[in-house]
Structure 1
Amino acid sequence: MHDATQYIIKDAPYYEAVGKEIEYYEAAYNVRMPMMLKGPTGCGKSRFVEYMAWKLGKPLITVACNEDMTASDLVGRFLLDKDGTKWQDGP
């Protein structure tokens, strides 16, 4: 298992708010409410999450996903090897 502190963002990433998204995110975060970000490629979703992780001092681990990805691609799966089966974690 990795030490989460290695995923803390040390330098402030550039982000310019376009509305009240920072306020909304902080409000959701404070009551532990999940939030889904949706938008086209390149609109700033990842940059926003990176900025909020830095602002809140929380670690950030990103995983590149695609429409063909399955749950086992993300979580992990059993693989066959010469000794039988072994568990292979996802990314």
Structure 2
Amino acid sequence: MGLEPTVPPLPRRFSKCPFAAVSDSVGDLDRAIPLYETTLAQRQQVLGHTHPSTLISRNNLASARRETEPVQHGSTATSAPEAAPQKPSTAD
């Protein structure tokens, strides 16, 4: 007979994670980020801070926030670089 350990299913409240992933995949980060935040908080509380599922949730949230960063803070990739100040010429 099997004495293999069984892993209990995650609580139903973790079901927001797939909705976050779908929202993220279609570019709806305004909806995905709060769902990722909720999922992360719940996993930290239930599973602990070092559980692999918690770490995956933390990574998903960080990735989604990173994608919004250029939009929120202005993209430096498209702006022209500022010219360095010129030293006055000493040659006459």
Q: Taking structure 1 as the reference length, what is the TM-score of the superposition?
A: 0.27
**Greater share of strand residues, 1 or 2?**
1
Structure with more relative contact order (C-alpha pairs < 8 Å, separation 6 or more):
1
Larger of the two Rg values belongs to structure: 2
**Greater share of helix residues, 1 or 2?**
2
